Structure 1
Amino acid sequence: MHDLVPRLPAPQPREEHPYEHLDRIARALLARNTAGLSPFSIFQAWNDWALHMSRAPGRQIELAERAVKNTIRVISHISGIGEDADAAPPFQPKPYASRFAHSGWAKMPFLFWQQSFLATQDWWDHATDELRGLSAADSERVRFMVRQALDVVSPSNMPLTNPEIIEQTIECRGRNIAEGVQHLLNDMTHTLTQTRTEPPEGFRIGEDLACTPGEVVFRNEIFELIQYAPTTGTVHAEPVLIVPAWIMKYYILDLSPKNSMIRYLVEQGFTVFAISWCNPTRKQADLSLEDYRKDGVMAALDAVGKIVPDRKIHAMGYCLGGTIMAIAAATMARDGDDRLATVTFLAAQTDFSEAGELLLFLDESQVAFLEDMMWAQGYLDRPQMSRTFASIRAEDLIYARAVKRYFLGRDDLPSDLTVWNNDTTRMPARMHSEYLRGLFLENRLTAGRFAVEGRVIALKDIDVPLFVVGTETDHIAPWRSVYKIRLFTDCDLTFVLTNSGHNGGILSEPGHPRRHFRIGHRPAGARYVDPDTWLAAHDPREGSWWTDWVRWLADASSARTEPPAMGSAGAGLPPIMPAPGQYVYQA
């Protein structure tokens, strides 16, 4: 039947004129000085906002009134503070903000500076609100840029207007400033030289982190496949294959022994395999998204099938690994490949129309800008990705950290998650360009326009049970975007919404304090329920969603059996070296 489906003609690349290389070089040089942001996209957003605001006299009057009212509210509170010391300030920090937590902000003159800043923030929130005729994307872009600018000038960032810095300087007699200068010099040296700091004692890879015992049983230029040693006398017959994102090192799922998802699965009697992606260099600039599917996910499935023959496989994809796993699963369903027992998606998007703040500057100009930068260097580099993610949560990840290190003189407290977070990877130019254009910009996967080997795939062809996890405060894969897979599939599906963010919500081991989750089941063929209705219908449960997931995996597995051998010499897959392998150390 599938042979009757017409194949799409392969797109023919346009031949570039030699002078276009000069244009690309110019844009690449500019991109290096703008952290990869296109100034044309920024100018377009401000221009769109300003033109529509200039044609909205009613909104201008409203904003003028709000500016006056905000000023009066601040002055009234400050001038009357002696009469009613217990009166609540008129402006409160946003729920997620922590920069004004110190008790000194309740006293003058710091209270005045704080309230003036929050009043200004309130005004700009309304100035960048929806405006008839203004593009929603441009409105959000302007709001984002204003937030970035306000974060820079916040009184909490200035040593003379932050009571905590002043108090610490007096107590330490200036020693905190001296230590802060040393931290600044160290950070500047690492930034300019692009050298990595060695993990502190107690956080060594292969010793303290990524230390679940196992063997590398397969390796190609894209990934190593790790098989983990069993710890139970019998195991579930069907193995588990973990596909992490290639934007991160795989050991986010094998951090410390106490919060390692891989170790937990092994202890529950599962045979676990995990992909450890390479850290690509300029020589691998032409690796494509299809290479990651075919020579990555599919090659791993082939290897697992040889080591554990005649058994279906539980596949799990995290973040971008979930997206490529969805593409692979839909392709397998289209082609009649029934090797999958179940598929689990952790904080993974398949529809990118509501992909959060990462979409704010993703237009044709921005993608072309990034493509030219990657064309010049062969990959998207670690600092360029890190700055993008940090800017989304600039208050916490940039300015609060800077105040703590450079003015309070406090060093970062090491943790397994921060060590992993600093161990970033690169992304090949071609693959990242295809990912940005085909998935983020054009949303082809759920629009019915994503082709694999010349033929379009559809998520609705997936007919194995799905377990999908979203996290409440995810700023990378917003949970409502993750939830949308329910729109594009008809199979049996269990959805979990857990608290915390993109990484913290996934690392939710049993016994972790302050963890809760919601869980709901959709039988195959059931009608669609929108995310807000689903949220209202499912009450939170205390504890870890891991236990429910393991129970779900066990219910979808057959009888327990003897653990398989490590690798398979007879199939040409003998153990190569102990876990965590070689690729995890690539800098």
Structure 2
Amino acid sequence: MTTSDGQTPEVTEEHIERLKENMEKVEELSKRLVEVMAGKTPHTPALDGPNQELYARAATAYWAEAWQNPAKLMEQQVEYWSKSVLNFAEAQRAMTSGQVEETDGAKPDRRFSNPMWETNPYFRFVRQQYQTNAQAIRQAVASVEDLEAKDKQRLTYFSQQIIDMMAPTNFLATNPDALEKAVETEGQSLIKGLENLVSDLEANDGELVVKLADESAFEVGGNIATTPGDVVYRNRMMELIQYKPATETVHETPIVLFPPWINKFYILDLKAQNSLIKWVTEQGYTLFVVSWINADSSHADIGMEDYIQDGFLTAIEEVKSICKVKQVNAVGYCIAGTTLSLTLSLLKQRGDKSVKSATFFTTLTDFGEQGEFTPFLQNDFVDGIEEQVNRDGILKAWIIGRTMSFLRSKDLIYTPAIKSYMMGETPPAFDLLYWNGDGANLPGRMAMQYLRGLCQSNDFVKDGFDLMGHKLHIKDVDVPLMAITCETDHIAAWKYCYHGVQQMGSRSKSFVVSESGHIAGIVNPPSKKKYGHYTNPDLKADADTWLKQADFHEGSWWPMWEAWLKKRSGKQVPARDTGDSDHPRLCPAPGTYVQVKANR
């Protein structure tokens, strides 16, 4: 075997002996592995894959097509056989001659960046045959015609998961990087990798959740989430943080920001250079941020109405009381933006004008199109989630995290797993990935209300979402609003966000598409001068036309949003210190709720 730089490593008897010694350490680690797997609490099998009926329908449709058009099936099979034989013949010729033909110019794949995938006949054959198999599977799935659109989308998604899972880079014997490192380190990389694997399994009660970041490198409130502030109110649902002013005067109307409770709020305050929270205070605003509970089984019966009553409505009232104002400007991010929409409908029906304007970050309100989540929002999966929720009382963070990760499995599952378990590398000290792994559990009742009533039934834009004695509807959202969406967002696709905003009742709407994705498109400070954004005041057209006719602006959308917000934030008043006589400072930001780790 040659190394990636083309050199042949020297393997002596001494190296072999040390390699054997390292391999003996596997026995001890194997015992730990057996113990943790034996103690694993089983979860509902429906969480691991679609109902077999999907594959049965696909197989029926495939063979029906083959029966009607056998020539098509034979053409596909002959093409597959031909490529497989050619791959083998080329490998044989290369082994005999010692020469390998140049690549065919296929699209680069980072998984196969090691030169040995090209220069070594064995690895070249493995790569080529894998790519041939992958093409055959995609071709077979594409040829299935007599399936409903959702079933076809799900079949395409799950077949791609199989393709990605079976990549040769995922297996030691067919991964030249891992094999090279094993020889170079005399097997120590494999020992370290097994230690990483066992450690991850032990940390998650036997569930395989790949650790993405070095957790020892970060401390919430220490080197991340450090913008000065105080918790000024606390109840069973949330802590309300008021941030200290950074200017001598502030706008009269305060901002209350509601982050998603699927994750923790400090994504908006990772470090000073990219902290939206810090930046807002520097623009002269009194900013409050909600930090939600991390649910456990005692929160099983908490529903969407509790988030609205004890979260949104309570926070708004407490902010009004502290700042001695009648209105606030509200911001909702992701699921909190969806719930802010529900809250605004409720306030409209009650005749309450406490919210002066609303800003939505990557917010879905119309779930008629489910995008990349379609594979997971059908009854087989949701039924499985409900069964698990009924057992645990909560929707556990690892289930949510795993689902999100499988939408980007190459980057968030397989590549990190290879580096950690086969290469024995320590995960990087990356604050964003640390935050990504610091998830939150969801109350069981709330999770099912959201999945059934909003995601599946789409009640909010149809006949109305029944909650708190009201039938909440999207047309009731009539305050001045701005929606910030992200061009490559795979969680809340901007086109679907756009459909929702179009149906809102407000006469004053602004819609923005930022470059990049669900996080980077929002956490996009002006100082970075990185991602631009699109604007277009005409919201009557379809989404594609809107973008085609939109104006592109270099740089962050933050200053544009602040200019819009300034017009709705009143006069300047002396900067407010945190809390008041009725709202003592309970503890410094980022508070205590954010420190609670999710149950495994």
Alpha-carbon separation, structure 1, partners of 2:145 and 2:133: 23
Alpha carbons 1:306, 1:568 under 8 Å: kept: no
Q: Deviations over 1:70-96 (max 9, x none)?
A: 55457658849999955534x536xxx
- What CA distance in whole angstroms lies between the structure 1 residues aligned with 2:551 and 2:73? 40
Aligned to 1:516: 532
Instruction: Report SS of the residue matched to 2:309.
Output: helix
Residue 549 of structure 1, aligned match among 557, 561, 571: 561
Contact persistence 1:307–1:568 (CA under 8 A): yes
Residue aligned with 1:209, SS: coil
Following the alignment from structure 1 to structure 2, what is the Cα–Cα distance between the partners of residues 472 and 62? 38
* Structure 1 residue ranges without an equivalent (≥5): 1-29
The answer (yes or no) to whether the contact 1:31–1:38 under 8 Å persists in 2 is no
Cα 1:160/1:330, change in 2 over 3 Å: same
Q: Counterpart of 2:358 in 1: which secondary structure?
A: strand
Of the three residues 562, 580, 591, the one matched with 1:581 is 591
2 CA distance for matches of 1:510 and 1:35?
Answer: 46
1:534 to 536, 543, 546: 546
Tell me which residue corresponds to 1:54: 63
Question: What is the one-letter code of the residue matched to 1:552?
Answer: W
Counterpart of 1:477 in structure 2 is 492
Corresponding residue number in structure 2 for 1:8: none
Map of 1:391 onto structure 2 = 406
Does the aligned pair in 1 maintain the 2:253–2:569 contact within 8 Å?
yes
1:200 shift after superposition:
4.6
User: SS at the partner of 2:562?
Assistant: helix
1:131 deviates by: 4.2
Q: Is 1:331 the equivalent of 2:331?
A: no
Aligned equivalent of 1:345, options 360, 376, 380: 360
Residue in structure 2 matching 1:436, options 421, 440, 451: 451
Contact map agreement 1:209 1:255 (CA 8 A) in 2 = yes
Aligned pairs, number? 547
Alpha carbons of 1:431 and 1:298: their partners in 2 closer, same or farther (altered >3 Å)?
Answer: same
Mean Cα displacement is larger for which, 72-81 or 545-554?
Answer: 72-81
With normalisation by structure 2, the TM-score equals 0.85
What is the CA-CA distance between 1:406 and the residue it aligns to?
1.6
- What is the rounded CA distance, in whole Å, between the counterparts of 2:425 and 2:484 in structure 1? 36
* Cα deviation code 1:305-338 (max 9, x no counterpart): 1112234211111111111011111222232222
Cα deviation for residue 549 of structure 1 reads 1.6
Structure 2 residue matching 1:360: 3-state secondary structure: helix
AA partner of residue 511 (structure 1): S
The alignment status of 1:144 with 2:162, answered yes or no, reads no
> Equivalent residue for 1:25?
none
Matches within 5 A, 1:343-492: 343-491=358-506, 492=508
CA distance, structure 1, for counterparts of residue 147 and residue 328 of structure 2: 49
SS, match of residue 253 in structure 2:
coil
Once residues 504 and 217 of structure 2 are traced to their aligned partners in structure 1, the CA distance between those partners, rounded to angstroms, is 44
Q: Distance in 1 between matches of 2:580 and 2:555?
A: 39
Please give the residue correspondences for 1:161-200 in structure 2 after superposition, counting only pairs within 5 Å.
161-192=174-205, 200=215
Give 1:313's match in structure 2, choosing from 328, 341, 358: 328
Shift of 1:241: 0.8
% of aligned pairs identical? 32
1:45 is matched with: 54
Q: Given residue 585 of structure 2, which amino acid in structure 1 is its aligned partner?
A: P
Runs of 4+ aligned structure 1 residues displaced above 4 Å come to 73-78, 80-87, 193-202
Q: CA deviation at 1:271?
A: 0.7
- Range 560-569 or range 281-290, more displaced: 560-569
Report SS of the residue matched to 1:262. helix
Cα offsets for 1:367-397 (capped at 9, x unmatched)? 3322222112111112222221122222221
Whole-angstrom distance in 1 between the partners of 2:143 and 2:464 = 31
Q: Between 451-460 and 60-69, report the one with greater CA deviation.
A: 60-69
Residue 428 of structure 1 and its aligned partner are, at CA, apart by 0.8
Match of 1:236 among 248, 251, 263: 251
Residue type of the alignment partner of 1:501: G
What is the alpha-carbon root mean square deviation over aligned residues?
2.8
Shift of 1:169: 3.3
Equivalent residue letter for 1:561? V
| Partners of 2:529 and 2:556 within 8 A in 1 | no
Match of 1:297 in 2: 312
Letter of the structure 2 residue corresponding to residue 52 of structure 1: A
Deviation readout 1:280-317 (Å, 9 max, x if unpaired):
22111111111111111011111111112234211111
Contact 1:130 1:139 in 2 (8 A): no
Which stretch shifts more, 176-185 or 44-53? Answer: 176-185
1:124 to 137, 151, 174: 137
Partner of 2:570: 558
Q: For the Cα contact (< 8 Å) 1:223–1:275, is it kept in 2?
A: yes
In structure 2, relative to structure 1, the CA distance for the partners of 1:109 and 1:443 (3 Å cut) is same
Q: SS where residue 226 of structure 1 aligns?
A: strand
Of 158-167 and 220-229, more deviation after overlay is shown by 158-167
Output one character per residue of 1:531-564: Cα deviation in whole Å (capped at 9) or x when no partner. 1112222354332222222222123322222122
Task: State the partner residue of 2:30.
Answer: none
CA distance in 1, matches of 2:305, 2:71: 54
- Which of 519, 537, 553 in structure 2 is aligned with 1:503? 519
- Alpha carbons of structure 1 residues 139 and 109: separation in structure 2 relative to 1, 3 Å: same
1:437, distance to aligned residue in structure 2 (A): 0.7
1:104-130 Cα deviation digits (max 9, x unpaired): 323333233223222222222232237
Against the structure 1 CA distance between its residues 131 and 72, is the aligned structure 2 distance closer, same or farther, given a 3 Å change threshold? closer
1:518 partner letter: Y
Whether the aligned pair in 1 keeps the contact of 2:536 and 2:551 (CA below 8 Å) is no
Deviation at 1:351, TM superposition (A): 1.2
Partner Cα distance (1:483, 1:60) in 2: 44
| Stretch moving more, 141-150 or 287-296 | 141-150
Q: Is the 8 A contact 2:255 2:329 kept in 1?
A: yes
Match of 1:16 in 2: none
For residues 335 and 315 of structure 2, the distance between their equivalents in structure 1, rounded to whole angstroms, comes to: 16
Matches within 5 A, 1:104-115: 104-107=116-119, 108-115=121-128
